[in-house]
Chain A
Amino acid sequence: QKEVEQNSGPLSVPEGAIASLNCTYSDRGSQSFFWYRQYSGKSPELIMSIYSNGDKEDGRFTAQLNKASQYVSLLIRDSQPSDSATYLCAVTYSSASKIIFGSGTRLSIRP
């Protein structure tokens, strides 16, 4: 079992719709969770971080964390073509000395 799992996609969503990206992780002691966006040929950049159960909203982005189910998701409302990218889920190990990235979900927003 991979430590951080994501559906590789591609996930195709019409412009203006909600894009839902999902991630599961194996280390029950993990404390910190991140979503990074990576455009093709570019370096990752942070979109959202979340540390406690529930929802965290920032503009069009909402991160959701459920530690009991070991599940973290990212919702993108009013999707725009500029949201087309690969989204990487990252989870810190409970030892806090390592961070594991998922393989990423490729999102495509169609006009």
Chain B
Amino acid sequence: GAGVSQSPSNKVTEKGKDVELRCDPISGHTALYWYRQSLGQGLEFLIYFQGNSAPDKSGLPSDRFSAERTGGSVSTLTIQRTQQEDSAVYLCASSSGLAGGPADTQYFGPGTRLTVL
């Protein structure tokens, strides 16, 4: 497993349900990022972890969104009480962390396509 992996690849849920998205970064990468991409749009930065800490959580769209990272590796993005406007592709990326977080080259996972009915 050389790349970033994400699961599930697709998730269909009903409005109001909670969902949990998972990201496995490249082994040894200390920095991890979550983005949201709506159809035909650019990437919306959600949150960045350096190790287990998130220096800036201001990108999270609302308090329904939360993210955590434990053991400096796997991260989960949780969306509570999903709304239809949460439908998007959620992308995770990781980087070595050597250049200081977002200044590094980021390697993206394949994404999770979330559909809220």
Contact surface of A with B, Cβ cutoff 8 Å = 6, 31-32, 34, 43-46, 49, 51, 88, 90, 92-93, 95-104
Contacts and interface: CB of A to CB of B under 8 A. Distances in A.
Contact of B45 (A95, A101, A104): A101
A43 B103 contact: no
Contacts, number: 56
Nearest to B43: A101
A90 B42 CA distance: 10
26 contacts: A6-B42, A32-B99, A32-B103, A43-B91, A43-B110, A43-B111, A44-B43, A44-B91, A44-B108, A46-B105, A46-B106, A51-B103, A88-B43, A92-B102, A96-B100, A96-B102, A97-B55, A97-B101, A97-B102, A98-B48, A98-B56, A98-B59, A98-B102, A99-B48, A101-B35, A101-B44
Interface residues of B, number: 25
Contact of B108 (A45, A95, A97, A98): A45
Contacts of A98: 45, 48, 56, 58-59, 102
B42 A103 contact: yes
B103 A97 contact: no
